[in-house]
Amino acid sequence: MSTGDTPPVAPLDLAPGTPPTLRPQPAGRQHRAPTRRPGSDAIIDCAVYVDGRRQEEVSPDDALRVAEERGGFVWLGLYAPTEDELGAIAERYDLHPLAVEDAVYAHQRPKLERYDDALFMVLKTATYVEHEQLTATSDVVDTGEVMIFLGPRHVITVRHGEHGGLAHLRQRLEEQRELLCLGPSAVLYAVADLVVDTFVEVARAVEEDVEELEASVFSPERTDDIGRLYQLKRELMSLRRAVSPLEVPLQTLAERPVGVVPDPMRSYFRDVLDHAIRVRDQVGGMDELLTSILQASLARTTMADNEDMRKISAYAGIIAVPTAIAGIYGMNFDYMPELRWDYGYPAVLLVILTAIVLLYRGFKRNGWL
């Protein structure tokens, strides 16, 4: 049984000899998987694959026995299992208790751990949150997790988060029989490839937000983008935490011999590693660019404040002249220059006006006004 409301995916067009890759739909256009209802089954799908073909429906209780009898493997898909639910499965598949604990409580960083002849891998998933306009409180990147238990006869995927559904990935893999014939590690590759390529799409969408902020900061209009810049930088950190630690696990799978990963699979993991390094560099570049834009925005704000202070000081200096003259003549002394002259009042106004004009021209010429 398969659930999920991920949008349909176009068939893959592969040139002869090209390793099959699994590309996601553009970020921000994926529908979120439904939240698991209390009391619903944690098992999303369970299937046995023999020679790259899915066998008839089998119950989760019998799947491992059927796989061992027929020389195939089990792919068990779980969504947000409880401790009791995953504990029962762990006993049946002999999963390591430390890995089970990580899979139940989630919130792990990307990693690869080896337990005897089994592997446990944690992948961070990400999706771009659409928004009409980036604000100081906008959610830009939403993250989840996928944990993968890999054994000689089984692969168990445990998903946490409201996105990253694997139902359509399973359908696409079932159309690639030559890939499934390589065993359970093919599922590990497919999930890692999907996650990393989604990172590429998310990074591309975030890059558009960075470009919009850059244009706003350096526009002729006076804008206050510091809050938006800081928020986007924080959101980008979530993507960076998902991407950067992934390099070491993928490098291990691509370059070192691992018992449950056959040698032909290494080239596939090298391809995923290459994509992960590229998106890591892209995210790192955006983070550095945002830092530079933030510094430029702060510098521009400081310059604008200085310009305001110069204007205020210039106008204060201009107003000080008539204020001083009016203050002097307002002291009401009997003996003051031109106090009883018929043209004294117009003459004082003319002196005030002349001083104002000269000061204004001087401040204007010096760039204060």
Q: Which domains does the chain have, with CATH numbers?
A: 43-300 (3.30.460.20), 307-365 (1.20.58.340)
Residue 10: pLDDT band with limits 50, 70, 90:
very low
pLDDT mean over 44-62: 91
- Rounded Cα distance between 327 and 319, Å, is 12
Helix (H, G, I), strand (E, B) or coil at 126: strand
23 closest CA partner among 9, 33, 36: 9
pLDDT at 15: 37
pLDDT at 54: 93
Residue 4: pLDDT band with limits 50, 70, 90:
very low
Cα–Cα distance list, 148 to 1, 43, 111, 222, 323 (Å): 19, 14, 11, 50, 80
Count of CB atoms situated within 10 Å of the CB of 170: 21
Phi-psi domain of 106 (left: phi exceeds 0; alpha: psi -120 through 50; beta: other): left
- Rounded Cα distance between 283 and 295, Å, is 18
Residue 173 is inside which H or E element, if any?
A: helix 167-174
Per-residue burial over 50-89, b if 16 or more Cβ lie within 10 Å, else e, is bebebbeebebeebbebbeeeebbbbbbbbbbeeeebbeb
Least confident of 42-51, 106-115, 266-275, 301-310: 301-310
- Rounded Cα distance between 325 and 328, Å, is 5
Rounded to 5 degrees, φ, ψ at 3 are: -125, 170
Percent of the chain past pLDDT 90, that is, above it, reads 46
Checking if the pLDDT of 142 tops 80, the result is yes
- Rounded Cα distance between 69 and 153, Å, is 11
pTM of the model: 0.74
Pairing of strands 118-128, 141-150: antiparallel
Q: For residue 315, how far is the Cα from the chain centroid?
A: 48
